[in-house]
Amino acid sequence: MFESVDFHCHLDLYPNPSEAFAAAARSRVYTLTVTTTPRAWPQNLVFSKGAEHVHPALGLHPEVVAHRFNELSIWDDYFPQARFIGEVGLDASPKCFRSLDLQKQAFEHILKRCASDGGKILSVHSLRAVKAVLDSIATHLPAARGKVVLHWFTGSVSESRRAADLGCFFSVNAEMLKSERGRTLVSALPMNRVLTETDGPFTSVEGRPANPSDVLDTVSQLAKLRGVDCALMGLTLRENLSGLLA
Ligand code: MN
């Protein structure tokens, strides 16, 4: 059984990946470990073997699409093996903006493939590209054909409502709760669509990379923010995960 959930981290990108996987397996955190290139998929399967609540996701990160677009065919090859898809999505921030058209081609391909097979759960990146991500989901992935978790969502409150109407979940990390804007956004999310994440090792806690067990702190911050007991917040998040996985 698991006590909490880290629905977006990159265990294969820690300084010592096999130790990161082993620590996640020993923890009581349901961990979705996303990949940035489909080439990483076989090794992630090996690392997570036998770890009941550590699950790899098959990804092609928008930041690498510019020079790895041709790996979409590798992504296709592994697709039937994967229940979880991620990290995928769009990134229109300055360093990725130039590849946005290519990113859209890749993301649409991924969404269509998910819609045609059905039953996949996606962890989706939408930095500076919330509208385009939601437009693509609305067009290519009906809610009945796949479930989307928006990772580190930084859109507006009204965009979060549109996302919720499309059936999306939101995985929330500690960084999002550091700004007033972030706290306002997270307060407005429908509580039955919220999960927690770390995005480790790309976030840090006390100068070290965050690891899945650090979600416990995010659970207690969420409880405070929403004015509920920490144990109740933990229960809500576990129920949300069960609903997503059902
Ligand atoms: Mn990430």
User: Structural domain boundaries of the chain?
Assistant: 4-245
For residues 106 and 42, is the Cβ–Cβ distance under 8 A?
no
- Assessment of whether the complete model's pTM goes beyond 0.85: yes
First to last CA, the chain: 16
Within 13 Å, how many C-alpha atoms sit on residue 136's CB side?
26
CA–centroid distance, 10 to ligand 1, in Å, is: 7
Give residue 72 CA to ligand 1 midpoint distance, Å: 18
Of 113, 116, 136, 115, which Cα lies nearest the Cα of 124? 136
9 Cα to the center of ligand 1, angstroms: 6
pLDDT classification of 1: cutoffs 50, 70, 90: confident
22: CA distance to ligand 1 center in Å? Answer: 20
Cα 125 to middle of ligand 1, angstroms? 7
pLDDT digits (tens, 9 = 90+) for 155-179: 999 999 999 999 999 999 999 999 9
Residue 196 clears pLDDT 80, i.e. is over it: yes
Residue 95: is its pLDDT beyond 90? yes
| Residue 201 alpha carbon to ligand 1 centre in Å | 9
Confidence of residue 39 (pLDDT cuts 50, 70, 90): very high
CA-based nearest residue to 174, from 1, 21, 8, 54:
8
Q: Residue 158 Cα, ligand 1 centroid: separation in angstroms?
A: 24
Residue 84, pLDDT > 80, answer: yes
Distance (angstroms) between ligand 1 centre and the Cα of 126 equals: 11
96 Cα to the center of ligand 1, angstroms: 15
Q: Ligand 1 centre and the CA of 242: distance in Å?
A: 22
What is the pLDDT, as a whole number, of residue 216?
A: 97
User: Which of these CATH numbers, 3.40.50.10420, 3.90.180.10, 3.20.20.140, 3.40.50.720, describes 4-245?
Assistant: 3.20.20.140
Whole-number pLDDT of residue 18: 96
Distance from the CA of 90 to the center of ligand 1, in angstroms? Answer: 12
Separation of CA 8 and ligand 1 centre (Å): 6
Cis peptide before 201 (omega within 30 of 0): yes
Ligand 1 center from residue 7 Cα (angstroms)? 10
All residues at 6 or more sequence positions from 208 whose CB lies less than 8 Å from its CB, including other chains: none
Residue 61 has pLDDT above 90, yes or no: yes
Q: What distance in angstroms lies between residue 200's CA and the mean position of ligand 1's atoms?
A: 8
- What's residue 80's pLDDT? 98
Distance of CA 244 from the midpoint of ligand 1 (Å): 19
Quote the ligand 1 centre to 151 CA distance (angstroms): 8
Spacing, Cα 87 to ligand 1 middle (Å): 6
